Amino acid sequence: MKACLLRSPARVETNPLDFTDVPDPLAQDGQLLVKVAACGVCRTDLHVVEGELPPRKSPVIPGHQVVGRVEKLGGKAGRFRLGDRVGIPWLHRTCGVCEYCRAGKENLCNHPEFTGYTVDGGYAEYTLAPEQFVYPIPEGLTDEQAAPLLCAGIIGFRSLRLSGIEPGGKLGIYGFGAAAHLAIQVARHWKVDVYAMTRDTRHQKLALDMGAVWAGGTVEQPPAKLDAVVVFAPAGEIVPAALKALKKGGTVALGGIHMSPIPPLDYNWLYQERVLRSVANNTRRDGEDFLRLAAEIPIRTEIEVFPLRDANRALNSLKNDAIRGAAVLRVN
């Protein structure tokens, strides 16, 4: 099969993904072989490709927002039928026995596998996934539209949950890429006012088009104090600005897997019971709840589609803030 292979991490400007032939994967017990239709391009892929996340498998096929159809069932796999449309997320599988898994916090599992990082992902014509960690994809969305829901959407949703935002509240969103353009639709559905802080003026415009009450630069103070904040941009210097914009007792939730160093914080910005917390992965429950809500709202995704062979170009565009909404690779 054709796949985009990362042999060793390097800056995306050097086009490190090699579009090449690799052996077809074989479904083992409990696994599905999925014929990939579309795969979303996530900022985490950029961190994997550029080595900001230390390599865990090499070479590796990136991609963890996979939409495709079940092509083959491994032994003992019976949850889906051949041809069913499924989505494969970042959380590839968990151990099921560690203290976090047993406590219902499988997102914090001590021995997790991650799609497109510790195991091969969806920048390929076929990929494998354990059937228990795969989602049915709701009707009404094309494969390309559905793909960004699987990480940008689910992580954005968990970030909103952990921010503690309530109906009628004022929410700040820092960085307005794929995750933010989905999270704002959930927030609006919950009757939340959204203030968007993002460096790129095109992204500020997208935020306003999608119902933000205000949009400005990343360190600009919004015109109102915020009940909660979600930070999607991977820039540590945003954290002090976000805390300064926050009401007493509010939460800043950091939605990314990687962030540049956070500058020293003046304790006064955090005092008055403000909370600063990260968001790590998601549980299957988050994914199921979000996909149900996405179908109910219904969520619309803004996408820019690239052919699989152009994955390097998609990653370069993402790095340069040139994507309106989410980048998606069309595969078959």
Decide: is 44 part of the binding site for Zn ion (CB under 5 A): yes
Secondary structure (3-state) at 204: helix
**What is the b/e burial string over 194-224, where b = at least 16 CB atoms within 10 angstroms of the residue's CB?**
bbbbbbbeebbbbbeebebbbbbebbeebee
**How far from 213 is each of 218, 223, 225, 227, 233, CA to CA, in Å?**
16, 10, 13, 15, 20
Strand partners for 330: 38, 307
Q: Pick from 33, 73, 91, 101 the residue near Zn ion by CB under 5 A.
A: 101
Q: Write down the least CB distance from residue 42 to Zn ion, Å.
A: 3
Rank residues 99 and 266 by Cβ distance to Zn ion and give the closer one. 99
Distance separating alpha carbons of residues 221 and 202, to the nearest angstrom: 19
Decide: is 94 part of the binding site for Zn ion (CB under 5 A): yes
Q: Write down the least CB distance from residue 72 to Zn ion, Å.
A: 26
Q: Which stretch in 40-48, 71-79, 138-146, 296-304 sits in contact with Zn ion by CB under 5 A? A: 40-48
Decide: is 109 part of the binding site for Zn ion (CB under 5 A): yes
Q: Write down the least CB distance from residue 323 to Zn ion, Å.
A: 14
Rank residues 95 and 270 by Cβ distance to Zn ion and give the closer one. 95
- Indicate if the alpha-carbon torsion angle 215, 65, 297, 277 is positive or negative: negative
In degrees, rounded to 5, the angle at the alpha carbon of residue 163 between the alpha carbons of residues 158 and 166 is: 105
Encoding tokens for residue 69? 């159809």
Decide: is 98 part of the binding site for Zn ion (CB under 5 A): yes
Q: Write down the least CB distance from residue 266 to Zn ion, Å.
A: 32
Decide: is 42 part of the binding site for Zn ion (CB under 5 A): yes
Q: What DSSP letter does each residue of 4-58 carry, written as one string? A: EEESS---GGG--EEEEE-PPP---TTEEEEEEEEEEE-HHHHHHHTTSSPPSSS
Q: Write down the least CB distance from residue 40 to Zn ion, Å.
A: 8
Q: What is the length of the chain?
A: 332
With contacts defined by CB under 5 A, how many residues of the chain interact with Zn ion?
8
**How far from 243 is each of 14, 21, 168, 203, 253, CA to CA, in Å?**
37, 48, 20, 22, 10
Decide: is 53 part of the binding site for Zn ion (CB under 5 A): no
Q: Write down the least CB distance from residue 178 to Zn ion, Å.
A: 8
Q: For strand 135-136 and strand 170-174, is the pairing parallel, antiparallel, or unpaired?
A: unpaired
Q: Pick from 17, 151, 178, 206 the residue near Zn ion by CB under 5 A.
A: 151
In the shown chain, the binding pattern of residues 61 to 80 toward Zn ion, with x for contact by CB under 5 A and - for none, equals: --------------------
Q: Write down the least CB distance from residue 90 to Zn ion, Å.
A: 5
Q: Which stretch in 97-105, 133-141, 187-195, 300-308 sits in contact with Zn ion by CB under 5 A? A: 97-105
Secondary structure (3-state) at 144: helix
Q: Which stretch in 146-154, 220-228, 246-254, 281-289 sits in contact with Zn ion by CB under 5 A? A: 146-154
Rank residues 42 and 171 by Cβ distance to Zn ion and give the closer one. 42
Q: Which residues bind Zn ion (CB under 5 A)?
A: 42, 44, 94-95, 98, 101, 109, 151
